[in-house]
Amino acid sequence: MQNLYLQDSRPWIIGLSGGKDSTCVTQLIYNMLKNLPPEKRIKEVFVVSSDTLVDTPIADNRRKKLCLLISEQAKKDGLPIKVRIIRPELGETFWINLIGRGYPSPNRWFRWCTDRLKIRPINKFTLEQIKENGEVIIVLGVRKSESQNRERTIKKYEIKNSKLSLHNEIAGAFVYAPIAEWLETEVWEYILSHPSPWGDDNKFLLQCYCKGEDDIEFIIDTKGKAGGSSRLGCWVCTVVPKDRSIEAYIEEGQKWLIPLKEFRDYLHEIRDVPLKRFEFRKDEKRAKIYADLLGKNFEGLVRFGHKVYGPFTFQTRHELFIRLLKLQTEPSELKEKLSEFGVVLISPEEVEAIIKLWIYEGDDLAEIDSVLQKCGAGTAFLQHLLNKENGKYKHKMDDICQSNNISPDLIDKLLIIEKDFSSLSKRHGIFNKLEHIIENYALERMIISGRKEK
């Protein structure tokens, strides 16, 4: 490991998930650097931790403490280690996709969350380092013994006569897997017999695995299935039938986690309920309307003999939105614990982005206002989006709409999109969004017209 570190100037990026394998690799590299003479510790090593924004509060708190301990100890020891916490961009967060766009809860066949919450942020950080340094080496705690699929992936990208592998997507990125040949028992033997240099004996980590926790490491091949049949560390994970980790915490007395478990179970329960989903996918909506107008039959996509439904309905999204905000705002032991851990279930920025997505996709403003009223915001929030605090504005706009036979609802939606783009120096894409609003409005009118004729 020392030889590889001293070989060139390419910075290293360690993917630290907080699980046993990535913890093991981070400890090995930390000790390697500590054993080098100070004058040879010149190459930067980034310890990158992924904050999905939906981690279980206990796991989130553990990750924050771990990152702080590593960062502080590295400074004391004079090591070139820089800790970076990366997060998904606003448009990629879990709630933006689930409640805003209506993506169905993730499952093993449509696991949209791992890519958006973990892979894209680490890839973005990696590309930034490549732009600055030319090439980078990503250090991963992956092992061949994890699964046959993992072994095939590691072997597929190996470079002959080198300790490095190619990254399947990113040019300029190479992968170093120092424990690729280790067995799981060897990983545990090392981290339990060698307390971490930052003051952690790793026994708490062992307790977490005894509860059934599992972690998804930063992976080499994004086209392959993500490893692990257990949970991802996210309290909203619906990829597996039961969240055994959070259940274990509740059994130990952490009753404040029950509301989170119930919300997660509900997401799993409604995932494939037809009434909770649109009958057709977004790209089929127009074809369905035209088929109805022409008196033709339109079935939509069928896969493996089963009807493929579209995203969650607006009603379902509204329901989830209200339930989530109540979890965060209503007085309870959960709210106290979230405050203690410094955890926010959904941010104000996500709330505003979700409302705009509903508008963009054709949701009714009156319905949105009703949802916001139940959450304690209501009309004031929409007035904020529209700059409608001035009463004269409303009367004047109503008169213009009435005299020109234009729907005030449509104009309000167009104005919200216009305001959303008003702060940008380059308003690329605004015309597409405005046209989309108008098209959605026209399609909805066609649907209503068709129903009246029937």
Closest-CA residue to 276 (of 99, 447, 107, 95): 99
Closest-CA residue to 266 (of 324, 313, 331, 335): 324
pLDDT given for residue 379 in this prediction? 58
- The C-alpha atoms of residue 192 and residue 204 are separated, in whole angstroms, by 10
pLDDT given for residue 225 in this prediction? 41
pLDDT given for residue 246 in this prediction? 87
Predicted TM-score (pTM) of the model is 0.83
Q: Which residues, 6 or more positions from 88, have their beta carbon under 8 angstroms from its beta carbon?
A: 52, 53, 94, 116, 117, 120, 121
Tokens of 120: 């894209």
pLDDT given for residue 205 in this prediction? 76
Tokens 């961009």: give the residue: 89
Strand 45-50 and strand 12-15: the pairing is parallel
8 A C-beta contact, residue 166 and residue 159: yes
8 A C-beta contact, residue 145 and residue 151: yes
First to last CA, the chain: 74
**Which residue ranges of the chain lie beneath pLDDT 50?**
213, 215-232
pLDDT given for residue 212 in this prediction? 55
- The C-alpha atoms of residue 349 and residue 356 are separated, in whole angstroms, by 11
- The C-alpha atoms of residue 57 and residue 239 are separated, in whole angstroms, by 19
Number of Cα atoms under 13 Å in the Cβ half of residue 52: 27
Number of Cβ atoms within 10 Å of the Cβ of 155: 11
pLDDT given for residue 232 in this prediction? 43
Number of Cα atoms under 13 Å in the Cβ half of residue 47: 27
Residues 164-191: pLDDT tens digits? 988 888 999 999 999 999 999 999 999 8
pLDDT given for residue 372 in this prediction? 87
pLDDT given for residue 393 in this prediction? 65
HEC states along 16-83? CCCCHHHHHHHHHHHHHHHHCCHHHCCCCEEEEEECCCCECHHHHHHHHHHHHHHHHHHHHHCCCEEE
- The C-alpha atoms of residue 191 and residue 186 are separated, in whole angstroms, by 9
pLDDT given for residue 230 in this prediction? 38
Closest-CA residue to 300 (of 313, 281, 286): 281
8 A C-beta contact, residue 44 and residue 29: no
Tokens of 5: 């570190």
- The C-alpha atoms of residue 313 and residue 281 are separated, in whole angstroms, by 11
- Domains of the chain listed by start with CATH number: 2-228 (3.40.50.620), 275-453 (no CATH)
Q: Which amino acid is at 409?
A: D
Closest-CA residue to 110 (of 219, 346, 271): 271
